[in-house]
């Protein structure tokens, strides 16, 4: 199959995947973001990259955001929100971070394929993304599509994150047709 045909199939699968996401959980996440003083984001590998992109947009529209593990990230406190992305829901470092956030009486929101995973069990808000990960055995629930590894999960997180930004920005009357005033100006 040629690359462009793969793109067409991937976009179809991405659309099917996102159409199965529970809108109620997404609404809960939007509300949690709206009401959090500070938002911390965590993930490993490509899941982390997707949340870094989401964090940048949250910063663009005025939220106070931190990536867990960066040297300038401050202490997580009661009332803070942790957003974690893990396709498998079993990545040890992410699970440990989420458990600590609960100990510090924060709220935990999780993007994962598996609500019943160890990470899923720590979540106050669980946005299930029915995609595939190569980190767990294939099954009816974990069926590979056209893309390898955790790509479909990751791309769904990226697109969903961008959609949340459009919703949150419109509430704050931020004009997303212009460059974000908060975007880095030392680049
Ligand atoms: O980098 C990753 C990708 O699956 C490679 O295809 C993962 O995001 C990384 O290994 C973390 O795994 P999850 O926590 O299961 O997302």
Pocket perturbation via mutation, ligand 1, pick of 41, 42, 43, 47 by most ligand atoms within 8 A of CB: 47
Q: Are 54 and 166 in contact (CB under 8 A)?
A: no
ipTM over 0.85: yes
Q: Could you tell me the distance, in angstroms and rounded to a whole number, from the CA of residue 64 to the centre of ligand 1? A: 26
| pLDDT one-digit tens code per residue, 137-170 | 999 888 899 999 999 999 999 999 999 999 999 9
Q: Could you tell me the distance, in angstroms and rounded to a whole number, from the CA of residue 124 to the centre of ligand 1? A: 22
Reply yes or no on whether the pLDDT at 112 is more than 90.
Answer: yes
pLDDT at 84: 98
The three-state (H, E, C) secondary structure of the chain, written as one string: CCHHHHHHHHHHHHHHHHHCCCHHHHHHHHHHHHHCCEEEEEECHHHHHHHHHHHHHHHHCCCEEEECCCCCCCCCCCCCEEEEECCCCCCHHHHHHHHHHHHCCCEEEEEECCCCCHHHHHCCEEEECCCCCCCCCCCCCCCCCCCCCCHHHHHHHHHHHHHHHHHHHHHCCCCCCCCCCCCCCCC
- In this prediction, what percent of the chain has a pLDDT beyond 90? 89
Computed over every residue of the chain, the mean pLDDT equals 96
Regarding the beta carbon of 142 and ligand 1, being less than 6 Å apart is answered: no
Q: Which atom of ligand 1 is nearest to the CA of 44?
A: 11
Q: Is position 2 annotated as part of the catalytic site?
A: no
Higher pLDDT, 137 or 65: 65
**Structural domains of the chain in order of their starting residue, each with its CATH number:** 3-172 (3.40.50.10490)
- The alpha carbons of the chain give a radius of gyration, in whole angstroms, of 16
Write down the catalytic residue from 13, 25, 154, 155.
154
| pLDDT one-digit tens code per residue, 24-47 | 999 999 999 999 989 999 999 999
């Amino acid at each position: 199959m040629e690359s462009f045909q793969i793109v067409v199939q991937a976009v179809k699968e991405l659309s099917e995947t996102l159409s199965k996401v529970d809108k109620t959980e997404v609404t809960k996440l939007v509300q949690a973001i709206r009401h959090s003083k500070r938002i911390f984001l965590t993930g490993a590998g490509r899941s982390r990259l997707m949340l870094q992109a989401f964090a940048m947009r949250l910063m663009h529209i005025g939220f106070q955001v931190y990536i867990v593990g960066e040297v300038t990230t401050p202490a997580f406190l009661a009332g803070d929100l942790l957003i974690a992305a893990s396709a498998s829901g079993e990545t040890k470092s992410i699970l440990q971070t989420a458990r600590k956030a609960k100990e510090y009486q924060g709220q935990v929101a999780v993007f994962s394929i598996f609500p019943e995973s160890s990470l899923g069990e720590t979540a106050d808000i669980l946005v299930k993304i029915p995609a595939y990960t190569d980190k767990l055995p294939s099954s009816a629930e974990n069926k590979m599509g056209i893309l390898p590894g955790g790509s479909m999960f990751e791309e769904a997180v990226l697109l969903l994150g961008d959609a949340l930004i459009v919703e949150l920005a419109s509430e704050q009357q931020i004009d997303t047709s212009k460059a974000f005033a908060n975007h880095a100006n030392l680049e």
